[in-house]
Structure 1
Amino acid sequence: MPVASTPRASRWASLTSLFAAFGSLGPFAPFIYRHRLELAGALIFLVGSTVATLAIPLGIGHFIDRGLLERSLEGFGQSAGFVLIAAALAAIASGLRFYLVSRLGELIIRDLRQAVFAKLISLDVAFYDSHRVGELTARLTSDAAAVRGIVATVVTQAVRAGITITGALVMMAVMSLPLTLAVVAAGPVVLLPIIIVARRLRHMARQAQDANAELSAMATEVLGANRTVKSFVQEDAQLQRYAARSDDNFRAETSKLGTRAIIVTAITFISAAAMVGLVLLGSTEVLAGRLSPGQLTQFLVYAFIAAGSLTGLSEIVGSLNTLSGATERLSELFALKPAIAATGEETPLRAPVTRIAFDRVVFAYHPDDAPALNRLSFSLRAGQTLALVGPSGAGKSTIFSLLQRFYDPTAGSITINNVDIRSLDPRELRGLIAAVEQEPTVFAGTIRDNLRFGRVGASDADIRRAADLALISEFADSLPRGLDTIVGERGVRLSGGQKQRLAIGRALLKEAPILLLDEATSALDTANERLLQAALAQLRKNSTTLVIAHRLSTIQSADKIIVVEKGRIVERGKHDTLLAYRGHYEKLVRMQFSPTDLPLHGPAKPRDPALLS
């Protein structure tokens, strides 16, 4: 029979799992040590309340022997006074301990959530491609709260239980060593169920935590897309999906609770049976004259206190194993390293930006995927505008992502001023770039807050100038609170065109030397687009610009145009030249414009090899 399957090996495995539950708190030690004064104060009052509580049985024993048996009023009074003083001290120390422990817990959860958020915000874009935001939010909220519960409550309760059991055993040994040894001998019988189920409970806790994260992720996703849900009349279907995940979470939690209930039931019965045996043994000691009735009562009270603490300790261990799923998930998160991050050995970039170049760049989002870009090369000088044209999925947005170093190329290089961007600090690189997305991100603050996102230190005058240039003032000034109007989550109170104006205003404030425009005026009508061209011209005046364009007005003014299909450049040149060759570019343009908009005379010109990649 394999060693791992023997009962003894199983017990050792369970004991190892139990210690692992405590060991999982290791990564969170700095959060506790940071507030060591609060912890020290809590422990001092914890010891004080425990010692005061352990003194109460002394008064009870004295009450029986001096008060009842000797019928002494003075004995009654002394015993009652002693018990009241001890109880008062225990109550005061317990109250102060509770406050300090609660304060410690709040400090820990504050610091932990800040650390989790800092870790999440530092991870690269590729991480978010494979993880759901709702699941990550659960780590930030429920997992962090679980760790707070472990550190601030479970650990201090465990220390209190340990001190109480130790103190009670010492006092019991002073009164009767044989009875104390009998109590100690019964201890392993009580602890055995805890050790046996510890590993199973730990595994169940991780399953419950994962189920809760899945439930949170699904709710975040659906609520964030509530307009789409309503538009497609999917309320009932999404409710059923949520109910199914809620049922999964319920089953995981109840399974875990059922196991813990079995532990508590077993320990409670075993403890009660042990106490009955202890009373019988103690009675024989009294009859033999080795203990007085008061001492037996005192001994039994200490035994009850020790048994209660031992039962509480079993629940604490159960809680620790239950919450270990949260500590594991957070430990895994803290262990992650962003694939793209500053190393401290970056090359400083010489200002100003004079040249941007892609040199035989190859990139795939996943090793098993076909390349999104395939040996793609182009360059542009400072002040030039490059238009990227091509069908959806050709790789245009990928070019923008690589230039901002959200991903690194699989092969080839991207350089600015002949410096590979992989040798630059990612934050410094992104500080050089202002991006206007086709579907801009708008935050749930005011119009002013969203504009200031482009430059945190922007003055109100700068914000007003950007709002005027981006035609934001046109609609903002008609609102009761102007630029201080709340736009709602994801800008739900703004139209698509207003969001794009906000994104352009944000880019104006950033004043970056590199500008990325992803069809920045696609949501505007023709009249407003013409008005906004002045703002875009202002942006491009001092910037090197790459623009993903579908509108003829944007394409015609570009210094260079490259046509991208399936990750390759199939044509390059200026607008009139590419039209004259009647190739890929001419077909793409004619799909969006009538023949009268693009008059061509004569036959197609022969292709220049320089037009091809």
Structure 2
Amino acid sequence: MSMGFGPRRLRGTQASPRRSDLDDDGAPKARFRQLLPYLLEHKKVLGVVIALSALGALTGLAQPLLVAEVISRVEAGLELEWLVWTLVGLVVVSALLSGYRHYLLQKTGEGVVLSSRKQLIRRMLFLPIREFDERRTGDLVSRVGSDTTLLRAVLTQGLVEAIGGALTFVGAIIAMLVLDALLFSLTIVVVAIAVTTVVTLSRRIRVASRKAQERVGDLTASVERAISAIRTVRAANATHREIDVIDKDAEGAWRMGLQVARISALVVPISGIALQVAFLVVLGVGGYRVASGAITVASLVAFILFLFMMIMPLGQAFGAINSVNQALGALGRIQEIIDLPGEAADDATTTQNVPTLADSTQPALAFQGVSFSYPERAHRSEAEKVVAEEIGEDAVAALTGPISLEGGSTRAPVLTDVSFEVPLGARVALVGPSGAGKSTVFALLERFYDPTAGVISLGGSDIRNLEREALRSQLGYVEQDAPVLAGTIRQNLLLAASEATDADCIDVLQRVNLESVLERDPAGLDAPVGEAGVMLSGGERQRLAIGRALLAAPPILLLDESTSSLDGVNEQLMREAIDKVSEGRTLVVIAHRLSTVVDSDHIVVLDHGRVVGEGTHSELVKSTPLYRDLAKHQLLV
């Protein structure tokens, strides 16, 4: 594994794709061959469909010949004998084959959507955290929902049927050529003009379809943002303003949808116009040729029937081109996510197993000259563009660091040359003002990001040489905002400890003083917590998140402001619970309330991303002005 500690090249800094791989609007372009893996997953069923289509084509091609024979026999005054019943039988068989083929195509289309969603979700949930920093949740959800749905149209709107229709098309052409070469020549000119027009328009459909899906993604993101913060929106009397924003995104999606509809509206009637023009030509010229004795009435009727049989699969082909190009527009957005490297891409070169901390003579955790800057964003959201227009680029750069569309730069450092150790079994606290970089320390420990310089070690091993999942199994992390997932209490507790029993869950809830939640709902552990835990108080959400970490029983606990939402009584109970579970474990705590960490074995003071002091509470009061000021403000000295 590479041990270079310089800035890594992240999204937006990679080599630009070739122009041939981009659509007209500069977005990644999907190609038809990228659809093939989704189709080939169902190759057996598709083989049956194609066989049924071939049988359907043969039964269809036989019908005009039988009709011509019927007309000839009627003209000659001969008995029809078995011809009528054979014709009826062919019609019935053709209908049955068509219905079963339609069912198989629908079933296969749903399978394509399912497999694409599974692949997209699997990739999405393993993306590096930086991708979630850049992308809006609603847009990602839209790719899983509406974009994948468009792949169904590849099958259900004519692609495979067009393959079967090609047999009918070729058979009809041969029959028409045999019946009358002159009429066939006139017909093929009309068809060639129609095909050329469709191919030209189809290129515009792909670009317009992708833009339409992007606008749907913007709409989904706006709705998700408003709903997730609905209480804040209502309290700020901003409901109407949010509706206006969402309305604009909805109108944007509507406009792009209309653009696709306008282009499609030009494609759809072409087959109808081609049929009408060809029919009129054949009727006029064919009638003249019948009158002149060049062909018979039966031959003209058969030719007209074959004409309809040729135009019908041609219409299917036009529809297939339309649906495939819309699907390719959506597939480009799907492939954009699937082609991103997963978070564990670097883990392929890991060389070490996670050390057994209990047997290690090294510190449990150690930072050695660690510096870190958050990766530069490759693009801005629409909201950020509006802010930039309002306050100016310089102000944006002062707040977030410059945003370089060319890539290759990073924001101002969050951590600079940070070094400290966490002894095995010790309780270490990180303190400092907001923005000092405390939570970033935890983000680096969890390998949500890797440092731009320096080394972070676990039991003496560089964590970049360890697989992320194995590393995280050693860490119990309670985030500052204590996220709770929609679902039940049990589902939240089992997130990190799927094998835990109900007794284990009840025990850990008692240890974090949360048994009252079980008592107030007869569902007990199956009591719902609501979206983002809205049915729990802030303190209850925090205690549930802590209980979730404790249930996994990792050797190292990382608690980020774990008591910030608790009142005095529950804070004391929580401290007692943490005291119990920290026995035999290493504990790293981030806290603004110094009262919760004054009895720590070691305290690290951070300010503006640098370590400005280390020691015990009494030592820091004497040696570190910043810590002394914090302690004075909290009446601890």
Normalising by structure 2, we get a TM-score of 0.86
- 1:321 pairs, out of 304, 309, 325, with 325
Partner of 1:189: 193
Distance 1:292 1:78 in 2: 23
Q: How does 1:122-521 map to 2 (within 5 A)?
A: 122-338=126-342, 340-341=344-345, 342-343=347-348, 345-352=350-357, 354=360, 355=363, 356-366=365-375, 367-521=409-563
1:104-157 deviation line (CA, Å, top 9, x unaligned)? 112221111111100001111011000011101111111111112214544213
1:336-386 deviation line (CA, Å, top 9, x unaligned)? 113553215431122126421111111000333110000111011111111
Specify every segment of 5 or more residues in structure 2 that has no aligned partner in the other structure, as ranges. 1-19, 376-408
1:167-222 deviation line (CA, Å, top 9, x unaligned)? 21122223223332332333221112112222222221221111111111111111
Q: How much does 1:240 deviate?
A: 0.7
SS at match of 1:386: strand
CA shift in 2, pair 1:510/1:255, >3 Å? same
Write the letter of the residue equivalent to 2:205.
L
Write the letter of the residue equivalent to 1:348.
N
Q: Are positions 1:558 and 2:600 aligned together? A: yes
Q: How much does 1:233 deviate?
A: 1.5
Q: Are positions 1:70 and 2:76 aligned together? A: yes
SS at match of 1:462: helix
* Residues 154 and 320 in structure 1, CA contact (< 8 A), matched pair in contact too: no
Q: How does 1:13-92 map to 2 (within 5 A)?
A: 24-67=31-74, 69-72=75-78, 74-75=79-80, 78-92=82-96
CA shift in 2, pair 1:121/1:23, >3 Å? closer
Q: How much does 1:101 deviate?
A: 1.0
Larger Rg: 1
Distance 1:535 1:131 in 2: 38
Partner of 2:566: 524
Specify every segment of 5 or more residues in structure 1 that has no aligned partner in the other structure, as ranges. 1-12, 599-613
Partner of 1:545: 587
Q: How much does 1:470 deviate?
A: 1.6
SS at match of 2:104: helix
1:207-265 deviation line (CA, Å, top 9, x unaligned)? 11111111111111111111111111211111111111111111111112112212334
1:462-516 deviation line (CA, Å, top 9, x unaligned)? 2222122122213212212111101111111011111111111111111111110
Q: How much does 1:325 deviate?
A: 1.1
Partner of 1:610: none
1:400-433 deviation line (CA, Å, top 9, x unaligned)? 0000000010111101122111111011111111
Q: How much does 1:159 deviate?
A: 1.2
Distance 1:358 1:154 in 2: 60
Q: How much does 1:71 deviate?
A: 4.6
Distance 1:584 1:312 in 2: 75
* Residues 22 and 320 in structure 1, CA contact (< 8 A), matched pair in contact too: no
Write the letter of the residue equivalent to 1:418.
G
CA shift in 2, pair 1:22/1:553, >3 Å? closer
Distance 2:139 2:198 in 1: 31
SS at match of 2:89: helix
CA shift in 2, pair 1:279/1:191, >3 Å? same
Distance 2:153 2:315 in 1: 19
* Residues 514 and 545 in structure 1, CA contact (< 8 A), matched pair in contact too: yes
Distance 2:351 2:222 in 1: 40
* Residues 29 and 329 in structure 2, CA contact (< 8 A), matched pair in contact too: no
Q: Are positions 1:102 and 2:144 aligned together? A: no
Moved more, 531-540 or 236-245: 531-540
If asked which structure has higher relative contact order (CA below 8 Å, sep 6+), I would say: 2
* Residues 438 and 519 in structure 1, CA contact (< 8 A), matched pair in contact too: yes
Distance 1:233 1:22 in 2: 42
Q: Are positions 1:579 and 2:621 aligned together? A: yes
SS at match of 1:374: strand
Write the letter of the residue equivalent to 1:101.
L
Q: How much does 1:397 deviate?
A: 0.5
SS at match of 1:343: helix
Runs of 4+ with >4 A deviation: none
Overall identity of the aligned pairs, in % = 31
Distance 1:119 1:347 in 2: 25
User: RMSD of the TM alignment (CA)?
Assistant: 2.1
Distance 1:503 1:22 in 2: 42
Distance 1:363 1:385 in 2: 24
Distance 1:400 1:242 in 2: 36
SS at match of 2:493: helix
* Residues 179 and 299 in structure 2, CA contact (< 8 A), matched pair in contact too: yes
